[in-house]
Chain A
Amino acid sequence: MSMDATAGVSAANVPLQCSDIHRYLGEAESRVHVLRGVSLQLQPGCVHAIVGPSGCGKSSLLYVMGLLDRPDGGRIALSGEAVEGLTDDQVSCRRNEHIGFVFQFHFLMHEFTAQENVMIPMRRLGRLGVREMQERAAMLLEMVGLGDKTRRNSQHLSGGEQQRVAIARSLANDPQVLLADEPTGNLDTANSERVFQLLTNLVRQQRKALLLVTHNLLVAEASDWIHEMRDGLLTGCRAGRPH
């Protein structure tokens, strides 16, 4: 873990942090200690990249920090609020409101248009009326450069466009934290660059915290902070060279 990445940020202003996280996977003889006391704080307006070899625990850390998985030990705090002891439903509500996920594969629902896909998290939150949700979804799609394809069925979009819809969807409820698991891993170079640029711009403009797991060294180098991970531990943290 690096203290440099969070220097000067008070605990209440840390959108997401974890400390001494342990996670085991598997049963009996095949039980593996995938996270061995990981601590990390995300800064608002910063892109944090986690790099490391396959199987080192990058995605496991992302899922635990995204409240999709429960750690076997350690603490997680979302905007200063500890999430231990929350029920599954309460955790789901926090996730819906405060965290946006982007995966390697877009995972859009083919039964819905691009706009409807973006509206799905908003429907769960239930704060906006249908018209407001439609307007916000259209605005988010406009922001990712798909303003003219809001009514298009998601399966009739290209791979890059689908991933941009997924980014718009992750921003649906205006979360403070974005978690991206190899968001460019399934895209060609041009689309990779575009998607990464889009994410970093959003983070900077809207003061969100982005934690991304990547194997792409160019993407990692362009992040604000690069966390190196090995055998379930964060072994180092250094500043990147953002454009």
Chain B
Amino acid sequence: MPPPLFIAIRFIGYRKKAILLSLTGVILGVAFYICAQAQTQGFEQFFIKGTLGSSGAIIIGNRFQSLHTAILDRQGGTMVNVSHAKPRKFYEGITDPERIMRAVNEFSSVTACAPVLEGSAALATDFRQEVFRVQGIDLGLHLKASALREHIVAGRIEDFQEKPSGLILGYGLADKMRAQVGQDVGLIGPDGEYRTFRICALFQTGNLTIDEKFGYIHLKAAQSLLQRPYGISHLMVKLRDPARAPAVAAHFERLFQHRARCWQDRERGSLEIFSLIRISAAITVSTVILLAGFGIFNILTLMVMDKVREIAVLRSMGYRRSDISAIFLWQGVLVALIGSALGCVLGAALTYGISQIPVDIKGFLSAKRFLVHWSVMDYCAATVIAFVAIFLASYFPSRRAARLAPVDILRGSGQ
């Protein structure tokens, strides 16, 4: 054991109450940080999971007019004056979806791709009539590319598979329309024709904007309802690593000349709100750790003032300035180590406890329990914050201790 550590272990017992108070601050700060991050990220991850499960990591949509970038690129960096530039033209839907799907499936980062025809239709029940977004899907492909199966909360997906006029409705929408599984409802397309569909199942993603606005029917039925035979409005792409979606989407866009939007881009507004909440929670809770650090700064500063004679004697015994500094830094390290370790344990316990609290959230997201996300990174971040705060808190007193001139202390010493 290094001599400064041996001395630090004994010195740390000095002013026990004060050091315990600061240690408690570090423990609570670390625990609250972990807990707050677990909650904010819990809701964020729930939202992301719902988004990826219902819309995929990338949506390849409308074809766009090719830009003249290839011509411009060939100019090799020379200045080109483009006059009367016009905005890019978009053409609705996917042109030759089969070919694009084949190409997309060739990518190793892609795990599934499914065609979707989306449009607006009116849903009519005995109770009321409401416009919603209907998606025509190829069930086999859609189940591979989405989390629809996991989202089913009532009815059976197999019933939908067997029934050409089957309908899967969002739980929120069914609730609004007072519709139930097994009930026949009417769908009215742009032509105004009334077609009867049977509700085979209800899904719930937890994202209310999806659950209250969407319903699924078979692709062929949608093409007929929306009067777009052979039409595909977009392709839904599932990726092995959704975090890589922006780069893959940009590549797809260049390659297929179709608009490709990654989930990060589609949900930017919501994700930014989550990010702001997370940062805000981190800053707020970090102040607890900073306050504990300030307490440790006070304790160590007082300790240096009280231990000047011991410091002088240690110097007379041949302890170097760096050894004296290390004695006080080690005390900080010990507080940070113990505080972080206990804080992580308490944080995990609090997070688990919170995840067991039953709630009934219905709003932007709907959940029956507090949502938490378990991430090692939160524990690491809390530990790093605690170490940085406490290192800074112990650095200045330790530097002061190292700079003390032993002779001045010994000359003026007395008991």
Chain A residues engaging chain B, CB cutoff 8 angstroms:
59, 63, 66, 68-69, 88-89, 92-97, 99, 101, 103, 105, 107, 109, 111-112, 120-121, 123-126, 169, 172-173, 181, 186
Contact residues of B between 1 and 53, Cβ < 8 Å to A: 3, 6-7, 10-11, 13-14
Q: Is B317 an interface residue (CB 8 A)?
A: yes
Q: Across the interface, do A96 and B310 meet the contact criterion of CB distance under 8 Å?
A: no
Bound together, the chains give a CA A52 to CA B347 distance in angstroms of 66
A101-B316, A101-B317, A124-B317 given; name 7 further pairs at CB < 8 Å: A63-B407, A93-B320, A96-B317, A103-B413, A107-B310, A109-B7, A124-B318
Count of chain A to chain B residue pairs whose CB atoms are closer than 8 Å in the complex: 78
Q: Is B281 an interface residue (CB 8 A)?
A: no
**Min C-beta distance of B406 to chain A, whole Å:** 5
Bound together, the chains give a CA A230 to CA B148 distance in angstroms of 99
Q: Across the interface, do A103 and B410 meet the contact criterion of CB distance under 8 Å?
A: yes
Q: Contacts A103-B313, A105-B415, A111-B11: A121 and B410 contacting too (C-beta < 8 A)?
A: no
Residue in A68, A97, A109, A124 whose beta carbon sits within 8 Å of that of B406 in the complex: A68
Q: Contacts A107-B309, A112-B10: A93 and B318 contacting too (C-beta < 8 A)?
A: yes
| Tier of interface size on chain B | 20 to 34
Q: List 12 A-B contacts (CB under 8 A).
A: A59-B410, A66-B316, A92-B320, A96-B317, A101-B316, A109-B7, A109-B310, A111-B14, A120-B317, A121-B317, A123-B6, A181-B410
Q: Across the interface, do A88 and B309 meet the contact criterion of CB distance under 8 Å?
A: no
Q: Across the interface, do A88 and B10 meet the contact criterion of CB distance under 8 Å?
A: no
Which residues of A sit under 8 angstroms from B10, Cβ to Cβ?
A: 109, 111-112
Bound together, the chains give a CA A106 to CA B97 distance in angstroms of 91
**Min C-beta distance of A181 to chain B, whole Å:** 8
Residue in A59, A109, A121 whose beta carbon sits within 8 Å of that of B318 in the complex: A121
**Can you name the residue of chain A whose Cβ is closest to the Cβ of B6?**
A123
Q: Across the interface, do B320 and A63 meet the contact criterion of CB distance under 8 Å?
A: no
Q: Is B319 an interface residue (CB 8 A)?
A: yes
Q: Across the interface, do A68 and B316 meet the contact criterion of CB distance under 8 Å?
A: yes
Q: Across the interface, do A111 and B13 meet the contact criterion of CB distance under 8 Å?
A: yes
Bound together, the chains give a CA A95 to CA B319 distance in angstroms of 9
**Can you name the residue of chain A whose Cβ is closest to the Cβ of B2?**
A123
**Can you name the residue of chain B whose Cβ is closest to the Cβ of A175?**
B318
Bound together, the chains give a CA A125 to CA B320 distance in angstroms of 11
Which residues of B sit under 8 angstroms from A94, Cβ to Cβ?
A: 318
Listed residue (A95, A99, A107, A172) with the most chain B CB atoms within 10 angstroms of its CB: A107
**Can you name the residue of chain B whose Cβ is closest to the Cβ of A126?**
B3
Which residues of A sit under 8 angstroms from B407, Cβ to Cβ?
A: 63, 68-69
Contact residues of B between 393 and 415, Cβ < 8 Å to A: 406-407, 410-411, 413-415
Which residues of B sit under 8 angstroms from A103, Cβ to Cβ?
A: 313, 316, 410, 413
Q: Across the interface, do A124 and B315 meet the contact criterion of CB distance under 8 Å?
A: no
